[in-house]
Structure formats: C-alpha cells, structure tokens
Amino acid sequence: MEDAFSANRLSDVLLPGAAQPRHGPSAAVAAAVRNGEHGTEVLFIERSAQKGDPWSGQMAFPGGRTSPTDADSVATAIRETKEELDIDLSGTQVLGRLSDLEGGPRETRQRLRVTPHLFWVPGERPLITPNHEVATALWIPVEQLVDEERYIEYPYPRLGSDLWPGIVIDGERVIWGLTLRMLVDLFSRLGRPLSIRT
C-alpha cells in the first residue's frame, strides 16, 4: 500500500489540472498526504458543531465554496485550507484531482459541484491552527482506511432510519457520505478498491 501512495504513483492515476469553470455553485477540498511515523497518512478535519450547518460535526477534507477571486479549483482548495487550518499548501506538490462530485445536504435540494485535489506535504507535519469552522484536525494513516474491521453501517438521525457505509477512525469518529465517496474513487484509481458498500 505504501508504494501505491507514493507521490509519483498518485500523480499517475489522478486527473491533471483544475476543474473546468462552472457557472453554478462549486467548491473544492484539499486532501493533504504525507509520509508519517505509521506510513502514509491523510489529513481530515472534524467540522465544528454549529446550528444551521448541514455538515455540522462531520468528518471531511478541508475546503469550501469557490470565491469569485479564486483563479481555479486548486486555488479554492488552497485558500480554504489556509483559512480553516492555517496551512499553506501553495508551495507543496499538487498531485492531481479526483472526479467532481455533486454535494449538498441530503435533506435539501441545495447542490454544488465539489472538486477534490490531492497535495503532497513533505517533511515534518505542519503546525495546524484550526479556525472556528473546525473542531479538530487529524492525520489518519492509510492503514486505518483499508482496515475492514473499521467498516460500519452508520446511522445519521437527520436522514431517518437508513444506514450509511462508514469508516471508524480515531475512536468514534466516522468518515462517510461525500468524503467516503472521494476515498472510494481514490483507492479505485490506485487499483486497491475499498471493500465497503458504496
């Protein structure tokens, strides 16, 4: 798995460049990847619990909506990561992007295009200073993401009695929904599909 998550291998399987411009609502997220003490690790955030936020308390990649001043989707991902975590990805290697996804709260008709970009972070872990939108930030080893014992059926009360596929990380936190779909895309591109319901 470590070979699959090298910067060169990731660059080979990801889409190049930024997303095509869009007239409708759009957003971009940044999946930062680095070599850690326990192998390759990926940065996730837990969003702060805020009333009125449809993604309140959920696990995600840092990112957010496109600003009219952003040059492209890469710039959006970099700007949002800087705002949310005070990490500057502008000097890191942009590995590529995953397929665009349609996002938005499931209980509403709000929809926007979300473009995930991957960045390679060299050296030591960067210092993280979360803003008010972020409860915490976690570097999760890839070995946890491929551990089938962590795969669960996740109940999300706001969506009724249905169960959703998820990956348990760092205690009781769960990666699910749009972020999980991004991981499924990533591992499929690497030829190591996740054995999780999609």
pLDDT tens for each residue of 25-80: 999 999 999 999 989 999 999 999 877 666 668 999 999 999 999 999 999 999 99
How would you classify residue 61: left for phi > 0, otherwise alpha for psi between -120 and 50, otherwise beta? beta
Q: Which of 72-81, 144-153, 160-169 shows the lowest mean pLDDT across its residues?
A: 160-169
pLDDT at 108 over 60: no
**What is the predicted pLDDT for the residue at 150?**
97
Phi, then psi, of 39 in degrees rounded to 5: 95, -165
Confidence of residue 156 (pLDDT cuts 50, 70, 90): confident
Contact between 108 and 20 (Cβ < 8 Å): no
pLDDT at 106 over 60: no
- What single letter denotes the amino acid at residue 106? R
Instruction: Output the six-digit token pair for 80.
Output: 């949002």
Residues 8, 186: Cα–Cα separation, whole Å:
14
Cα-based angle 72, 76, 79 (whole degrees, multiple of 5): 135
**What is the predicted pLDDT for the residue at 57?**
81
Q: Which distant-in-sequence residues (6+ apart) come within 8 Å of 41 by Cβ?
A: 33, 34, 35, 139, 140, 141, 142
pLDDT at 158 over 80: no
Q: Which distant-in-sequence residues (6+ apart) come within 8 Å of 184 by Cβ?
A: 193, 194, 196, 198
Please state, rounded to an integer, the average pLDDT across all residues of the chain: 91
Who has greater pLDDT, 51 or 164?
164
Q: Which distant-in-sequence residues (6+ apart) come within 8 Å of 131 by Cβ?
A: 83, 84, 85, 86
Confidence of residue 105 (pLDDT cuts 50, 70, 90): low
**What is the predicted pLDDT for the residue at 104?**
66
Three-state secondary structure call for residue 13: helix
Q: How far is CA 151 from CA 45, 46, 194, 197, in A?
A: 19, 18, 10, 9
Percent of the chain with pLDDT over 90: 77
Residues 87, 61: Cα–Cα separation, whole Å:
13
Confidence of residue 120 (pLDDT cuts 50, 70, 90): very high
pLDDT at 1 over 70: no
Residues 75, 69: Cα–Cα separation, whole Å:
9
Q: Which CATH superfamily is domain 7-142 in?
A: Nucleoside Triphosphate Pyrophosphohydrolase (3.90.79.10)
Contact between 168 and 127 (Cβ < 8 Å): no
Confidence of residue 172 (pLDDT cuts 50, 70, 90): confident
